[in-house]
Amino acid sequence: MNNSLLIVLIASGVAYGTPLLYAALGELLAERSGVLNLGVEGMMLVGAVMGFWTVQRLHATTGVALVAAIAVAAVAGAMMAAIHAFLVITLRASQIVSGLALTIFAGVYGLSSYLGNNLNLADQPARHSFSAVFPSSMQKWPIVGPIVFGQNVLVYVSWACVVAISLYLSRTRPGLNLRAVGESPAAADTMGINVTAYRYVHTIAGGAFAGIGGATVTLAITPQWVDGITYGAGWIAIALVIFAFWRPELCLVGAYFFGALEALAPQLQARNIQLGPTVLWTSSLPYVMTILVLVVVSSGTARRRLGAPSALGNAYVREER
Amino acid sequence: MRVTVERRLRQPRWLVVAVPIASVVFALAVAALVLLATGHNPLTTYHQLVDAAFLQTGSLGQTLISATPLAFTGLAAAAAFRMKLFNIGAEGQMYMGAITGAAAGLYLGGRGGPSAFVIASMVVAGCVGGVVWALIPGILRAFFKTNEILTSLLLNYVAGYVLTYLIFESESYWRQTKGFNATVFPTGKPLPHSALWPGWTIHAQGGIAVPLGAGFGLLAAVVVWLLYSRTRFGFEAQVLGDSDRAARYAGVRVRRKILSVMALSGAIAGLGGASQVGDFAHALDGDPNGLQKQGFGYSGIVVAALARYNPFAVVLVAFLIGGLQNAGNTLQGATFPAGLVGVIQGIILFSALGGELLIRHRIRIGRRVKGPAPTSPEPAA
Amino acid sequence: MKRTRKLALAALLTAAVALIGASAGAAKHSAAPYKVAWIYVGPHNDGGWSQAHENGRLYVQKMLGSKVQTTYKENIAVGAQFSQTVASLVAQGYKLIFATSYGYVNKAFAAKYPNVLFEQATGTDVSKNLSEYFGKAEDTVFLSGMAAGAASTTGNIGYVVAYPIPEVIRHANAFALGAQLTHPGATVHLVWTHSWFDPAAEKKAAQSLHTAGADVLGQNVDSPAAGQFAESVGIPWVGYDSDAAKFAPKSWLTASVYNWGPYYLKRVKAAMAGTWKPGFYYGTINDGFTTLAPYGAGVTAATKAKIATYEKKIENGSYYEFTGPLYDQSGKLRVAKGVKMQVLKGGTNSLYGMNWLVKGVVGSPKG
C-alpha cells in the first residue's frame, strides 16, 4: 500500500519539493518588500556548492558538519542577494536585468561552476548527508509512514519556516510593515518605516533561504556536486510564489505539487503506464501545468483580491514620491 | 558631507556612450582582480582573449558564427524589453524557428545551388515559428494578465523537449532515416543543397566567412530601429513601456500592442533559429548537447541589456560578446576553468547596470546638512 | 564641473588603451612537444563518461611526460562551439584531437583540417584523417548483469537508461542476458531519463523502479545517484563507467568500466612516429579496453567464480552473449540459433543498429 503510485507520488512530492519550498519562501519575502529577484537559480547553486564544500572539508561530527553547512549555504546565498539588493535598491538598476545578471554570474556556467571546479568538489559523495530522522519501523506505517515520517530534518524545518513566516506576515509589527512597504512604499515611508532597510533585509534573507534550498539538493536529495545540479529549480520557485498568491502556506502546496509532477514521469515508466506518445510529454507536464496555473491565478478577479505587492519591481525613490 | 542622488532631466549624449565604456573598463579591472586571485595573469589572459576573438587567423569568422545568433536573440530581447515586455522566451522561440525553418528547407529544397525562393521561404517559416511560440505568452499577458517572464521562460523548457522529441524520440519528418549512420545515432535530415544558406568571403585574415544570417541580422536591426524611431508603432510602444496609463489615455490599444511586439520579438528570434539551420547546422539539431546547450536566448538578453536596447548597439555588442564566447572556448581548459567566463560576463553586466545609475542620475557631493535637494537646471551638454 | 568630467573620461579611455597595450606585450610562446587535445561533452570530473576519458588523458601525459603537451576542453556542445574549439586548438598547434562524443566530427569536418588527425568515440565515419573508436562494453555489461541477477531474490531488476539509441539498447540487452543467466526468468525494467548525466532524474528513476518492485538496480547513465539511492534503501547496485564504490559502499556490486588510457597511448605514439592510420577500432576485454570494476561485498564467491568463467570464455572466443537464438520482447525470434550478431553488419540485427529489446526486458525501446 505504501508502494502504491499515489502514496509514492505524495512522499516524493514532499521530498523533491523541499528545495523549491525554501527558495519560494525566500523569494516571497523579497517580493513582499517590493523587490523582484530573478537570480534565485544562481543563489541556489552557490548555496548548494558552498554547503557541499563545508561538509567535505569540515572535520566534525555529522550533526555539526551539517548545521555548519546549512549556515554556510545561507550566508553564500545571502551574499549573492546582497549584490542584487545593492544594484536595485541603492543604484536603482532594473530589477529584471539585475536578477538575470545574477543568474548568469552565479549560475551553471559561472561562479558556482568555478567554485565546484576549484575546490575539487566533483566526483565525491558527500561525507555527511541528511537522512530520514524517524526509525524505519515508523516509516512503514500506512500512508503517514513514507509521507510524514520518511523525510529528513530539512523537510521538517521547512514546515516550521512556513508557519513562522506566515505568523510573521500576519501577526507581527515588522511583518505588517513589510506588507506596507511592498504595497505602497511612499505611504510606508510617510509612516516612518525605513523602506530601504526593509528591502535590503528581506532581499538578503531571501537569498539565505535560496541558499538553503540549494544545499537541500546537494546534502539531502542527491548528495554530490555537479555543475548546475538544481536544473532550473530556481525558476520554478519564482513561479511558485505567484502560484501561491504570495502566501507561505500555499507555497508549500505548490512546491509539493510540483515535486510530485517531477516524480510522475519515472514513476509511470517504472509501472509501465504510458501517457502520451513519449516520456518527454510527461516530462514537460510540470512546466505546462505551472503555466496553466499561472494563467488561472493571474486572471483579473484573482489578482485584485489576492494579488501581487503593488510596488513589486519598482525602485523606490523618495524624491520622486 | 552629504551625497545626494537626483534624477537628471536630460541625459547628455556623451554620457550615454562614456558610461558603458567606463563600466566595461571597470568590470575588466574587477575581473583582473578575480583572475589574479585565482592565479592567472590578467594581462596575458586579456591578450589571449583579444587574440582568440579577433586577431588570430580565422578568429573573426568564428566570432561571427558566435555573434550571429546573439544578434538575433539580442534584437528580439531589445525589441520587447524596450516596451517593458520581458520576453525571456527567445531561447524557445529560436528552437521553434529552427523547426519551421528546417521544415521549409526540407520540403521545398532540391538539388542545385542555393535558391533565393527556398531561402526566403525558410526565413518566412522561421519567423512564423517564432511568432507562434511568442504569441502564447503574448496572449496570456494581453488577455489574462499573466506574467510573461515566467510563461515565456517555462515555454523554453517545453520547446526544448519538442526539439529533442523530433530528433531523438521519433521518426519525424526532420529525422534522418536513410543510411546506416541514421540507425546508430539520431540526427537530423540534412538539408538539400538549394536550402543551404550561402555566405560571403571577405579577403582578409585568410578569408573571413560572413554567413547570410549575419546580413539578415543587420537588416533586422535596421527594421527594428526604423520601427521604433520612425513609426507610430514604435512611438506607441515606447509610451506604453514608460507609462501604462499615459498610453491608454493616448488611445494606444494596449492588447494589440502587446501582441504585435511579442510577435515582432518572436519573429526575430525565430529567424535566428532558421539561420542556425541554414547557415550552420544544415539540419535540425535536436541533440540536447547541441543547440540546446548553447543558451543563445539567455545570452541575447545580456547583449540587449548591455546595448541599452538600441538595435545597432545590439549588433555591436553581439559581436563583442560573440568574441568573448569564442575566446572563452579557446581559453577554457585544464588551467582555465569554464566557470570564469560566466563570472566575467556577470561582472561586466553588473558594472553596466551600476553605470546605468550614472546615466539617469547625477550624484552631488555637497556640504549641506539639511534641507531639500536642489534641482538646478542641467547645464548645456 | 564639465572639465572634470571630460578629464575623467579621457583618463578612463587612456586606462583602457593602456590596458590593451600592456597586454599586447605579454604574449606567450608555445613549446616543442607534440600537442594532443581531448574534447569532452560534459565536465571533466563528472565521475562518469568524460572522467574516464580524462583518466586516459592523464595516463598518456604521465607515460609520455614532456614529449607531449595535452589539454582538454569540457562542456563543449555539438555544433558551432565544437568547431570554434577545434579552430582555436588547431591555431595553437594541436595535431591530434580526440572528440569523445558522437556527432562531433564527420568526414566533411575532418577534411577542413587535412593536417590534423581526428579520433571520434562512438561514431562511424572514417576518412584519411578521421578514425573511430569504441569498444565491446556490452561484454562487461553482460558480466555485470550476471552479478545483478545473482544478487536478486525476486528477479525484478531495475535498469536506469538514458536515450533509446542502439548503444544503450544493446547494453540493456546485454545486462538482461547476463542477469537471466544467473537468475533464470529475471526481468529487467527500464526507466529512461533522457540525459547521460542528471543525478536528480536518475535518483527519481531508481526510486520509481524500487517502489515498483525492483530489488537490485543497474544503470547505463553516468552519475552515481541511483547508487546513493540504493544505499539508502539497502539494495544492491551495479554501476557504469567507473568504480563508484565510494558512493555506495554497502550496495556496490561491480560495474563495466572503460579503460581508454592504453588505446590513447597507442594512438598518440603512432601519431608521433608517423605511423598513425585511420580505422574503426572496437576494443575488447582482451586488449584491456573494458574491464569489470572491483567487486563489492555483496558478490558471493560462487558468483565471482561463475563470472570469471564466462569472462575467460568471452576472451578466448568460445562464448558470445549476442549469439542466437535471441527473442525480442514479443517473443519473436530475431537472431537464429548459432548466428553471432556483428558490430556493423546486419541492419537492426547489428550491434550498432539494434533497436529492439530482448525477451525479459520490460519497457519501450522508443523511450
Question: Any CB–CB contact under 8 A between A288 and chain B?
Answer: yes
Residue with cell 561533452: C41
Using the beta-carbon criterion (under 8 Å), do C194 and A280 form an inter-chain contact? yes
- Look at residue B370 in the predicted model and tell me its pLDDT: 52
Using the beta-carbon criterion (under 8 Å), do A229 and C204 form an inter-chain contact? no
Residue C94 pLDDT greater than 80, yes or no: yes
For chain A, positions 143-202, list CB contacts with chain B under 8 A.
Answer: none
Is residue C76 located within the same domain as residue C109? yes
Q: Please give the residue of chain C at the shortest CA–CA distance from B276.
A: C80
Percent of chain A beyond pLDDT 90? 48
- The residue among C5, C78, C105, C342 with the most chain B CBs within 10 A of its CB, best to mutate, is C78
Question: Any CB–CB contact under 8 A between B187 and chain C?
Answer: yes
For chain B, positions 188-227, list CB contacts with chain C under 8 A.
Answer: none
pLDDT tens for chain B, 381 residues: list them: 566 667 777 777 777 777 778 888 888 898 888 888 877 788 888 888 888 888 887 788 889 999 999 999 999 999 999 888 989 999 999 999 999 999 999 998 877 777 889 999 999 999 999 999 999 999 999 988 888 888 898 899 899 989 988 888 778 888 888 877 777 788 888 898 888 898 888 887 667 889 999 999 999 999 999 999 999 888 888 888 888 778 888 888 888 999 999 999 999 999 999 999 999 888 898 888 788 878 899 889 888 988 889 999 999 999 998 888 888 777 776 566 667 777 877 888 888 888 777 777 776 676 655 545 445 444 444
The alpha-carbon gap from A193 to the nearest alpha carbon of chain C, in Å, equals 36
Please report the sign of the dihedral spanned by the C-alpha atoms of residue A146, residue A278, residue B97, residue B137.
Answer: negative
The alpha-carbon gap from C204 to the nearest alpha carbon of chain A, in Å, equals 6
Residue A293 pLDDT greater than 90, yes or no: no
C-chain CB neighbours of B334 within 8 Å are 70-72
For chain A, positions 75-134, list CB contacts with chain B under 8 A.
Answer: 83, 87, 91-94, 96-98, 100-102, 104-118
Using the beta-carbon criterion (under 8 Å), do C199 and A280 form an inter-chain contact? no
E strands within chain B? 2-7, 199-202, 208-211, 361-366
- Look at residue C26 in the predicted model and tell me its pLDDT: 39
For chain B, positions 42-81, list CB contacts with chain C under 8 A.
Answer: 42-44, 46-48, 50, 52, 56-59, 62, 65-66
Domain ends where: C97, C118, C135? C135
When the pLDDT of each residue in chain A is averaged and rounded to a whole number, the result is: 87
C-chain CB neighbours of A122 within 8 Å are 43, 45-47
- Name the least confident of A105-114, A144-153, B367-376, C61-70: B367-376
Say if residues A293 and A314 touch (Cβ distance below 8 Å).
no
B-chain CB neighbours of A280 within 8 Å are 161, 164-165, 169
> Whole-angstrom Cα distance, residue B270 to residue B134?
9
Using the beta-carbon criterion (under 8 Å), do C87 and B62 form an inter-chain contact? yes
Domain count, chain C: 2
Is residue C221 located within the same domain as residue C307? yes
When the pLDDT of each residue in chain C is averaged and rounded to a whole number, the result is: 87
The alpha-carbon gap from B115 to the nearest alpha carbon of chain A, in Å, equals 36
A-chain CB neighbours of B302 within 8 Å are 100-101, 104
Q: Which of A12, A16, A122 sits opposite C45 (nearest CB)?
A: A122
Residue C265 lies in a domain: no
Look up the ipTM and state it. Answer: 0.85
* Parent domain of C172: 137-257+291-362
Is residue C196 located within the same domain as residue C298? yes
Q: How confident is the model at residue A305 (pLDDT cuts 50, 70, 90)?
A: very low
Examine residue A248 and say whether the peptide bond preceding it is cis (omega within 30 degrees of 0): no
Using the beta-carbon criterion (under 8 Å), do A100 and B298 form an inter-chain contact? yes
Per-residue pLDDT of A227-240, as tens digits, reads 888 877 898 899 88
Angle at B376 between CA B372 and CA B378, to 5 degrees: 145
Is residue C176 located within the same domain as residue C308? yes
Residue with cell 563508484: C244
Question: Any CB–CB contact under 8 A between B334 and chain C?
Answer: yes
- The residue among C45, C202, C251 with the most chain A CBs within 10 A of its CB, best to mutate, is C45
- Look at residue B377 in the predicted model and tell me its pLDDT: 47
Per-residue pLDDT of C294-347, as tens digits, reads 999 999 999 999 999 999 999 999 999 999 899 999 999 999 999 999 988 888
Is residue C97 located within the same domain as residue C84? yes
Using the beta-carbon criterion (under 8 Å), do A269 and C46 form an inter-chain contact? no
Residue C102 lies in a domain: yes
* Parent domain of A122: 5-320
Is residue C74 located within the same domain as residue C161? no
Q: What is the CATH number of the domain that holds A189?
A: 1.10.3470
pLDDT, average across residues C3-12? 53
Could you tell me whether strands C290-292 and C252-258 are parallel, antiparallel, or unpaired per DSSP bridges? Answer: antiparallel
C-chain CB neighbours of B52 within 8 Å are 88
Say if residues A225 and A124 touch (Cβ distance below 8 Å).
yes
- Name the least confident of B181-190, C163-172, C217-226, C284-293: B181-190
The alpha-carbon gap from B142 to the nearest alpha carbon of chain A, in Å, equals 11
C-chain CB neighbours of B291 within 8 Å are 77, 79
Using the beta-carbon criterion (under 8 Å), do C194 and A122 form an inter-chain contact? no
Q: Which of B154, B164, B301 sits opposite A291 (nearest CB)?
A: B154
- Chains in contact with C, where contact means 3 or more Cβ–Cβ distances below 8 Å, are A, B
- The residue among C211, C235, C243 with the most chain A CBs within 10 A of its CB, best to mutate, is C211
Residue C124 lies in a domain: yes
Q: Which of B44, B169, B187 sits opposite C23 (nearest CB)?
A: B44
- Look at residue C328 in the predicted model and tell me its pLDDT: 92
Residue predicted with more confidence, A231 or C356 = C356
Per-residue pLDDT of C30-67, as tens digits, reads 447 899 999 998 778 777 788 889 999 999 999 999 99
- The residue among A216, A279, A284 with the most chain C CBs within 10 A of its CB, best to mutate, is A279
Question: Any CB–CB contact under 8 A between A124 and chain C?
Answer: yes
CA C71 to each of CA B327, C56, C89, C242: distance values in angstroms, whole numbers, following the listed order:
16, 12, 9, 22
Using the beta-carbon criterion (under 8 Å), do C26 and B43 form an inter-chain contact? yes
Residue A247 pLDDT greater than 80, yes or no: yes
Angle at B123 between CA B117 and CA B126, to 5 degrees: 135
Q: What is the CATH number of the domain that holds C244?
A: 3.40.50.2300
Q: Chain B to chain C, count of Cβ pairs less than 8 Å apart?
A: 143
Is residue C147 located within the same domain as residue C216? yes
- Name the least confident of A88-97, A303-312, B66-75: A303-312
Q: Please give the residue of chain A at the shortest CA–CA distance from B344.
A: A105
Using the beta-carbon criterion (under 8 Å), do C75 and A123 form an inter-chain contact? no
Domain count, chain A: 1
C-chain CB neighbours of A269 within 8 Å are 190-192, 205, 208, 363
Per-residue pLDDT of A176-198, as tens digits, reads 999 999 988 889 999 999 999 99
- Look at residue B290 in the predicted model and tell me its pLDDT: 81
The alpha-carbon gap from C249 to the nearest alpha carbon of chain A, in Å, equals 11
* SS3 letters across chain C: CHHHHHHHHHHHHHHHHHHHHHHHCCCCCCCCCEEEEEECCCCCCCCCHHHHHHHHHHHHHHHHHHHEEEEEECCCCCCHHHHHHHHHHHHCCCCEEEECCCCCCCHHHHHCCCCCEEEEECCCCCECCEEEEEECHHHHHHHHHHHHHHHCCCCEEEEEECCCCHHHHHHHHHHHHHHHHHCCCCEEEEEECCCCCCHHHHHHHHHHHHHCCCCEEEECCCCCHHHHHHHHHCCCEEEEECCCHHHCCCCEEEEEEECCHHHHHHHHHHHHHCCCCCCEEEECCCCCCEEECCCCCCCCHHHHHHHHHHHHHHHCCCCCCCECCEEECCCCEEECCCCECCCCCCHHHCHHHCCCCECCEECCCCC
Residue predicted with more confidence, C25 or C49 = C49
Question: Any CB–CB contact under 8 A between A238 and chain B?
Answer: yes
Using the beta-carbon criterion (under 8 Å), do B158 and A284 form an inter-chain contact? yes
> Whole-angstrom Cα distance, residue C48 to residue C246?
14
- Look at residue B334 in the predicted model and tell me its pLDDT: 59
Task: Give me B72's grid cell.
Answer: 538575433
B-chain CB neighbours of C76 within 8 Å are 329
Residue C221 lies in a domain: yes
Using the beta-carbon criterion (under 8 Å), do C201 and A274 form an inter-chain contact? no
Q: Which of C46, C208, C224 sits opposite A266 (nearest CB)?
A: C208
Residue C3 lies in a domain: no
- Look at residue C14 in the predicted model and tell me its pLDDT: 52
Per-residue pLDDT of C175-228, as tens digits, reads 999 999 999 999 999 999 888 888 889 999 999 999 999 999 999 998 889 999
Percent of chain C beyond pLDDT 90? 60
Is residue C187 located within the same domain as residue C310? yes
Question: Any CB–CB contact under 8 A between A300 and chain B?
Answer: yes
- Name the least confident of A82-86, B157-161, C146-150, C194-198: C194-198
Say if residues B326 and B59 touch (Cβ distance below 8 Å).
yes
Residue A114 pLDDT greater than 60, yes or no: yes
Using the beta-carbon criterion (under 8 Å), do C204 and A223 form an inter-chain contact? no
